[in-house]
Structure 1
Amino acid sequence: MAADPKNTRYAKLRIAQKQMGLDEDAYRDRLERETGKRSAKEMTVAELDKVLTGFKRDGFRPAPPRTGKATSSRPEVRKVFALWGELAPSLRSGGSRESLRAFVKRMVGVDDPNFLSGAQAGVVIEALKAWGKRA
């Protein structure tokens, strides 16, 4: 089931309100100025988009969409993420990022794969390869 397109816009409006430092009255005044309505719940998707466009014009910068892919500039860390992704279907956790962090912490005492040294990454990679052979 797809997410309601309005819900994502409501969330973006609240993020814009916070990012731009608008109190509730200023926020509602802004909604009314753009659409004639003081409540986002009364607006159509097109009206919500109009308000968001106005916020962007005045400086609101939404965060870029997350791809869900773990990235790193370091090839050994990308290898850790890739091996973990291959194991994900066989894991009870589903291969969550938190479970990878816990695994790395148990293996080499580092809280996040992005902070692995080359040698530590090698240890984790070899452990993941061995796990993959057993799975």
Structure 2
Amino acid sequence: MNKTGRGRLLFIAHKGAKQLWGDDEEMRRSIQEIHTGHRSCTAMDDKVLTRWCWKLKEMGADIYVPDPAPRGGQDLTKPTTRQLAQIEQLAFERGWEDGLNDGRLRGFIKRTAGVDDVTFASRKQATDIISGLRRWKKQEESK
């Protein structure tokens, strides 16, 4: 996407957010971070920014998004379903009852991959999280 198109997407994202949350910048940033992993629109790449615009439209914003709606399917940069299941299983084995939503797992993910939630991790980061949890388990078993 060219710079003009990106500027237009940024404008659309802010316009949609203003329609939904008014001038509550903190609310926008919090909800945006939940859905995209970024508190700032400028930190998003064009693909994520387009998805965010479509999400705003889905939430009720009256905006026109020039790019086509994202199609379903697994994003190749995101963790696979199998990776998420492995992470959740390893969390349960540690006694973290809330699985992927457990605060202790989220802390481990933040320290290991630098993201707040495993859904914002890349496949490589998910592999690092799985490896780290397995190493931790093996260390505790050897004690």
TM-score grouping bracket, smaller chain normalisation: 0.3 to 0.5
With structure 1 as the length reference, what TM-score do the two structures score?
0.42
With structure 2 as the length reference, what TM-score do the two structures score?
0.40
